Amino acid sequence: MSKLNTNYQKLQAGYLFPEIGRRVKAYANSNPDKQIIRLGIGDTVRELAPSVISAIHKEAETLANQKTYTGYGDSEGTLELRQSIQDYYKQLGVEIELSELFVSDGAKSDCANIQNLFEKPVVALQDPAYPVYVDSNVIAGNTYEAVESGQYNGLIYLKSSLDSDFLPELPTQKVDLIYLCFPNNPTGAVATREYLQTWVNYALENQAVIIYDAAYSWFIKDQDIPKSIYEIPGSKECAIEIQSFSKFAGFTGVRLGWTVVPFDLKTSDSKEKQLNQMWTRRQNTFFNGASNLAQAAGVAALSEQGRKENQMVIDFYMENAKLFKDCIQGLGLKVLGGHNAPYVWLETPIIEGKKLTSWEFFDYLLNQIQVVSTPGSGFGPGGEGWIRLSSFGLRENVLEGISRLNSLKESIS
């Protein structure tokens, strides 16, 4: 008799983006004459870089000829791409072996699946956080039921707030797995070397493992902010890094990422290189490798020319972020992020003596100026009272959004 995986029933209804979609659709249906501007979406909008496009064309030609056609490749990724990734780390002063690298079809699936290496871990994560860290652990049975606040029993939420620049404090109890994301989605917070070292020290002392989501490292401008956790001494013994081509090269639709599982990574009971071998086994069993077209594109994206072209697009997005920040500061609202990260994180205003919740401000912006944002509380209770704006937009949209936001100056404080 088959039975359901009842962990699915623990999941909280109304995943963030469907709920946003529902409210926007309802508004559009009853206000068909109004033009809606989306400033909340975490998806890239600019075209792929020329060198990436030509690599995809070239790979397509290779596949078009029976003599040069290739089918399945190594599930860990092509040698050429792994060498390009290895070079990326070399430029950061980090030595990574090719067998420590696992090319993926994007960061999200690895963020969700990586917990599979650990036995019933006690999981800690930032609050607010990218929803996949929570939901994947709920489905895997690493939590109990959710309580009224929306938090799951058994998960350790690392509270962060304006007072700590949205950098979470170390847990007060022992945890086994810690998800960290810097530069952060949604808050735009970045981790300094000293701050990350405190996490690595904690993990080493407690034999915990850090899952480090570095998808936004490409947006870091300040020279002294680390782009990889492996820039921190001791991290190879306690950290897995997950990376993505989505945000820096516009691969949200192409699909490509990678994960580093170092040989030195340890749990309290692991043998030498065992976690690396387990992830190799896992990938060979569950995954047949990323698309060869995407991998050829990835090599081009990491080439010197590709990096130059992608940097121009990143600079374009970061100019959007600056425009948002200036506007919001002008409105007198607290704003974080948008400097080393594409997300701008702003506090909800007080209107008629009442501080709005995230969803109230979302509705206010939609109804008053037809602007779509992302409510901070959708990333966890710790995001309540904040909303996220995204700099992934075309300039005309951003400017139109800004002029509408400026029109609120008299009404919000």
Ligand X SMILES: *Cc1c(COP(=O)(O)O)cnc(C)c1O
Residues binding ligand X (CB under 6 A): 42, 106-108, 130, 181, 185, 213, 215, 244, 246-247, 252, 257
Report which residue's Cβ sits closest to ligand X. 106
Least distance in angstroms from the C-beta of 54 to ligand X = 23
DSSP label of 337: E
Least distance in angstroms from the C-beta of 107 to ligand X = 4
Distance CA 354, CA 300 (A): 52
Strand partners, 180: 212
Distance CA 167, CA 42 (A): 21
- Is 82 or 108 the residue whose CB approaches ligand X more closely? 108
Residue with tokens 């860290």: 133
Least distance in angstroms from the C-beta of 173 to ligand X = 25
Least distance in angstroms from the C-beta of 214 to ligand X = 9
Helices 292-302 and 304-330, packing angle to 10 deg: 80
Can you list the positions of beta strands (E) in 348-407?
350-351, 354-355, 371-372, 374-375, 386-390
Q: Give the distance from CA 126 to its chain's centroid.
A: 12
Least distance in angstroms from the C-beta of 323 to ligand X = 21
- Is 12 or 252 the residue whose CB approaches ligand X more closely? 252
Within 8 A by CB and 6+ apart from 17, the residues are none
- Is 219 or 364 the residue whose CB approaches ligand X more closely? 219
- Is 349 or 376 the residue whose CB approaches ligand X more closely? 376
> How many contiguous H segments (helices) and E segments (strands) does the chain have?
13, 15
- Residue 341 token pair: 């990260």
- Is 252 or 280 the residue whose CB approaches ligand X more closely? 252
Within 8 A by CB and 6+ apart from 15, the residues are 131
Q: How far apart are the first and last CA of the chain?
A: 60
- Is 42 or 306 the residue whose CB approaches ligand X more closely? 42
- Is 106 or 385 the residue whose CB approaches ligand X more closely? 106
Helix (H) or strand (E) holding 358: helix 358-369
Least distance in angstroms from the C-beta of 108 to ligand X = 3
Least distance in angstroms from the C-beta of 364 to ligand X = 25
- Is 230 or 248 the residue whose CB approaches ligand X more closely? 248
CB atoms within 10 A of CB 206: 17
* Buried b or exposed e, range 96-117, using 16+ CB within 10 angstroms: beeebbbbbbbbbbbbbbbbeb
Least distance in angstroms from the C-beta of 130 to ligand X = 4
Distance CA 195, CA 279 (A): 28
